[in-house]
Chain A
Amino acid sequence: MTQAITAHERDAVPEVTRLATGERGGAPGITSEADRPPDPQELRDDQVDGPELTARLAKTWGTEKGLIGALSTVDHKVIGRRFIVTAIIFLFLGGLSAVVMRLQLAQPENNLVGPDLYNQLFTMHGVTMMFLFGVPIGEAFAVYLVPLMVGTRNIGFPRLNAFSYYVYLFGGLMIWVAFMRNIGPDVGWFAYVPLSGPEFSPGKRADVWAQMITFTEVSGIAIAISTVVTAFKLRAPGMTLDRIPLFVWAELVNSFVIIFALPAVVTASAFLLMDRLIGTHIFNPAEGGDALLYQHLFWFFGHPEVYIIFLPATGWVSAIVVTFARRQVFGYIPLVLSLIATGFLSFGLWVHHMFTTGLPQLGASFFTASSMLIAIPNGIQIFCWIATLWDGRPVFRAPLLFVIGFFFIFVAGGLSGIMLASVPLDTQVHDTFFVVAHFHYVLIGGNVFPLIGAIYYWFPKFTGRMMSERLGKWHFGLAFIGFNVAFFPMHITGLMGMPRRVYTYMPEMGWANLNMISTIGAVLFFGSFLLFLHNIVASARRGALAGPNPWNAGTLEWAAASPPMPQNFDRIPVVTNREPLWAHRDTLPVVAGLSVENREQIVSTVTAGRADLRETTPEPSIWPFLTAIATTILFIGSMFTPWAFVWGTPPLALALIGWFWPKPSTEDEK
């Protein structure tokens, strides 16, 4: 599979392939709308060429101006851009709350914030980073990049995609407004019962947490489904399963993990809401419920969650390593298989968050074995990337620097994870700052560093301008040093006995110096992000123009203009290699025959990636936005009264009816 493509093979594909016009070999008598031969009157993209084709397609696929147009758009790039920006704003909010916490902990018995605000702060930090940044950022990149990388014009289910963005936005706004109004949850991002239950969490704080989960999970599952459909059914002709870019594979596996993991936490938070609002006793031991049940449900989601955050990052790393090593990836098949293995294994580890709850010992030790076993697929990935760099010609630009930072930090975090996987060792370090250090090494190393690399890498694609390389290097240096200064000492504070989630500690505990170092590092780390912000804003205005392929990369998104036109590609490319732009340096082979006047896409077969059907994808619509509003009213109302399900459903039903109202397809109108 990893053999070089010969010059002969490169030439074997004709420059323009025409799509068959209707003589599709189906069983006789069974015809569907999609099998109908295309209307000969309709303008097709093999009849026009050049700038006229571009302009006409841009009109067909474009987003209308004005507020209504902006809210109706179904363009995956517009939605994806909003998604990425929103997630990064939440990253900054989460980071800000972390800085306040670090300042409080800088000195023993500090009085900057009291316990009540501190508890809200660390809950908001965790919730924001996990649910409003960590999960969405991976999905946001999928929304923007997967359709481009597989060579299609829009994401599968574009309206569902638009809906999921608004639901996510409203959920995030709800919890932050609640926090500003002193209704911020104060029970931790995990909200263990009974502390988050009705007796010990009066008021609406825990309800806000639980309902925010519902928002983000509805949104998360919806995008995951769109991503799976895009990756399976909308690939460009010729993109067989083994030619799918690794980034798309990562997002695909990630989407499946999301689809299977998130229902568990929705169950947990819905049960919690029921206990709190309508007086069920699901988690009440006195009435036959069980407090530990909650932890099982939560961590059955909570551990895959870590991989939901990490898997997209493997996609970013793969893309950056390949481009900047100037070599096709080493070990494509092992990399894909280890992604899939990680996805499966991630569901077998959740009990290692509960080793100190007194579970049966033999059972717990099985989870030690499975937790350690995940080192194997992750090891394969790390080794394959190193091998790619080894045999390549590394070009040290900012994206690669952040990926190198990722290697240093993530591998360290993964190795301290091996300690946590061991039941006996875990009893000492569980719920201490050692764990805080560990998962920040894993999550910041495994997600944030690759993310920043990815932003430096794809920024030219998003905006058409390059980011400043000089600032990028400063940013990397500051972030790398700041991060390690902030988080390495936490390993030691944890071993010295400092538990997590304490708002202060006493001077005689001897943790003061280490905490001060951590705070200084945290401030540095946050400062590096301000530099990053400056770089983004300045480069978006004045950066050097990028052109379609500034990095000379190999995957399809670089064949589109920067920023891409609404239609992504004037003609859909034909894929003959895993790195199409490297295989065809001058002109990419394309297919023609799609409508110019309709939003027509190629639907291809799942494994072979053969063009199978021609299908129109939905027009822009305001209904997804209205549905999201109705959903928000229902969700927020149901925090206050179960009757919200009665009066909240009709508006939602109306919005959905509007959304799904059968329209005569534009083809039929002609």
Chain B
Amino acid sequence: MKVYLVLPLVAFALAACEREDREYRANPMTAESQEKIALVPLSAGPSGPTEYRSGLGKEYEENAFHISQGQRFYTWFNCNGCHANGGGGSGPALMDDRWIYGGQIENIVQTIREGRPNGMPSFRRKIPDDQIWEIAAYVRSMGRNVPKAAAPGRKDDMSPGPAEQRRPPGQVIDGGQVPPSAQMPQ
């Protein structure tokens, strides 16, 4: 009788925690991940737009290691040149709820990969696919759209504000405004 109680406990103990997995060897054979994501829930016809998610997003945005790598690349690849520490500058803010081009991780991956009008360059072939996902996961953590236990703590830098893990959980509201600083000169 007791054995039956103990077994699930042991199984639980032995199951690896995915949140802590350190997967650093991306599969070199796969090309970039294909996701079909709609920006708006509108489409012709009675059904909504067709979407396809590979599930990669969950893998990245719930993994503390990937988010932390993304945090590092965010600085290394000079994202803060335009977006600062998420508060925005010449580029839109990343820590608020408003997402011009969609706030799901798949949208953000697409934004980084393809670029967007008014100044966001395309990083296709400039940043490897897995690192794009990691950066996107970190961007998601800026508005605390990732699990708290996976969100990064403070960095060893001058601190611009509370660390991602200390921010209140955010939400995603599609359809933000392009900040005036990022608009094309009229």
A and B touch in the complex (CB under 8 A): yes
User: Is B30 an interface residue, CB under 8 A from the partner?
Assistant: no
User: Is A56 an interface residue, CB under 8 A from the partner?
Assistant: no
Residue in B65, B71, B156 whose beta carbon sits within 8 Å of that of A203 in the complex? B65
B68–A199 touching, CB < 8 Å = yes
CB of B10, distance to nearest CB on chain A (Å): 9
Query: A204-B20, A204-B149, A287-B159 known; A275 and B14 CB under 8 Å?
Result: no
B20–A287 touching, CB < 8 Å = no
Residue in A116, A177, A194, A281 whose beta carbon sits within 8 Å of that of B13 in the complex? A177
A202–B154 touching, CB < 8 Å = no
Residues of B within 8 A of A200 (CB): 156
CB of B33, distance to nearest CB on chain A (Å): 22
Residues of A within 8 A of B153 (CB): 197-199, 275-277, 279
How far is A286 from B67 in the complex, measured between Cα atoms in Å?
22
Chain A residue nearest to B154 (CB atoms) is A279
Instruction: Encode A234-248 as 1/0 by CB contact (under 8 A) with B.
Output: 000000000000000
User: Is A180 an interface residue, CB under 8 A from the partner?
Assistant: yes
CB of B38, distance to nearest CB on chain A (Å): 32
User: Is B83 an interface residue, CB under 8 A from the partner?
Assistant: no
User: Is A640 an interface residue, CB under 8 A from the partner?
Assistant: yes
Residues of A within 8 A of B125 (CB): none
How far is A640 from B148 in the complex, measured between Cα atoms in Å?
8
Query: A198-B154, A199-B68, A199-B152 known; A278 and B166 CB under 8 Å?
Result: yes
User: Is B22 an interface residue, CB under 8 A from the partner?
Assistant: yes
Query: A204-B20, A278-B166 known; A199 and B149 CB under 8 Å?
Result: no
Residues of B within 8 A of A198 (CB): 152-156, 163
How far is A279 from B157 in the complex, measured between Cα atoms in Å?
11
Residues of A within 8 A of B67 (CB): 202
CB of B14, distance to nearest CB on chain A (Å): 5
Residues of B within 8 A of A180 (CB): 13-14
A281–B154 touching, CB < 8 Å = yes
User: Is A285 an interface residue, CB under 8 A from the partner?
Assistant: yes
Instruction: Encode B21-33 as 1/0 by CB contact (under 8 A) with A.
Output: 1100000000000
Residue in B15, B20, B155 whose beta carbon sits within 8 Å of that of A205 in the complex? B20
A284–B17 touching, CB < 8 Å = no
Within 8 A of B (CB), among A200-240: 200, 202-205
User: Is B16 an interface residue, CB under 8 A from the partner?
Assistant: yes
Chain A residue nearest to B71 (CB atoms) is A199
Residue in B14, B15, B68, B162 whose beta carbon sits within 8 Å of that of A202 in the complex? B68
CB of B16, distance to nearest CB on chain A (Å): 4
Interface centre among A180, A194, A199, A275 (most CB of B within 10 A): A199
Residues of A within 8 A of B22 (CB): 116
B150–A203 touching, CB < 8 Å = yes
How far is A64 from B82 in the complex, measured between Cα atoms in Å?
71
B162–A279 touching, CB < 8 Å = yes
CB of A272, distance to nearest CB on chain B (Å): 11
User: Is B64 an interface residue, CB under 8 A from the partner?
Assistant: yes
User: Is B98 an interface residue, CB under 8 A from the partner?
Assistant: no
B159–A194 touching, CB < 8 Å = no
B152–A181 touching, CB < 8 Å = no
CB of A198, distance to nearest CB on chain B (Å): 3
User: Is A183 an interface residue, CB under 8 A from the partner?
Assistant: yes
Range for the number of chain A residues in contact with chain B: 20 to 34
Chain A residue nearest to B159 (CB atoms) is A287
How far is A87 from B183 in the complex, measured between Cα atoms in Å?
66
Residues of B within 8 A of A281 (CB): 154, 159
Chain A residue nearest to B158 (CB atoms) is A286
User: Is A513 an interface residue, CB under 8 A from the partner?
Assistant: no
Chain A residue nearest to B161 (CB atoms) is A279
User: Is A182 an interface residue, CB under 8 A from the partner?
Assistant: yes
B19–A279 touching, CB < 8 Å = no
Residues of A within 8 A of B21 (CB): 182
Residues of A within 8 A of B156 (CB): 194, 197-200, 284-286
How far is A561 from B155 in the complex, measured between Cα atoms in Å?
61
Residues of A within 8 A of B159 (CB): 279, 281, 287
Residues of A within 8 A of B165 (CB): 277
How far is A183 from B20 in the complex, measured between Cα atoms in Å?
6
CB of A212, distance to nearest CB on chain B (Å): 16
A279–B166 touching, CB < 8 Å = yes
Residues of B within 8 A of A182 (CB): 16-17, 20-21
How far is A277 from B154 in the complex, measured between Cα atoms in Å?
8
How far is A199 from B156 in the complex, measured between Cα atoms in Å?
6
Residues of A within 8 A of B16 (CB): 181-182
Chain A residue nearest to B16 (CB atoms) is A182
Residues of B within 8 A of A284 (CB): 154, 156-157
A202–B64 touching, CB < 8 Å = yes
Within 8 A of A (CB), among B134-160: 148-150, 152-159
A181–B13 touching, CB < 8 Å = yes
Residues of A within 8 A of B13 (CB): 177, 180-181
Chain A residue nearest to B166 (CB atoms) is A279
Query: A181-B13, A181-B17 known; A202 and B155 CB under 8 Å?
Result: no
Within 8 A of B (CB), among A73-97: none
Chain A residue nearest to B68 (CB atoms) is A202
Within 8 A of A (CB), among B69-115: 71
Chain A residue nearest to B155 (CB atoms) is A199
Chain A residue nearest to B153 (CB atoms) is A198
B166–A203 touching, CB < 8 Å = no
CB of A202, distance to nearest CB on chain B (Å): 3
CB of A491, distance to nearest CB on chain B (Å): 34
How far is A124 from B148 in the complex, measured between Cα atoms in Å?
26
Interface centre among A181, A284, A285, A641 (most CB of B within 10 A): A181
Given contacts A180-B14, A204-B19, A640-B149, 9 further A-B contacts (CB under 8 A): A183-B17, A197-B156, A198-B153, A199-B152, A199-B153, A200-B156, A279-B153, A279-B159, A281-B159
Sample (17) of A-B pairs whose CB atoms are under 8 Å apart? A177-B13, A181-B14, A183-B17, A183-B20, A198-B153, A198-B155, A199-B68, A199-B154, A203-B68, A203-B149, A204-B64, A279-B153, A279-B159, A279-B162, A281-B159, A284-B154, A286-B158
Pairs A-B, 3 closest by C-beta atoms: A198-B153, A202-B68, A203-B64
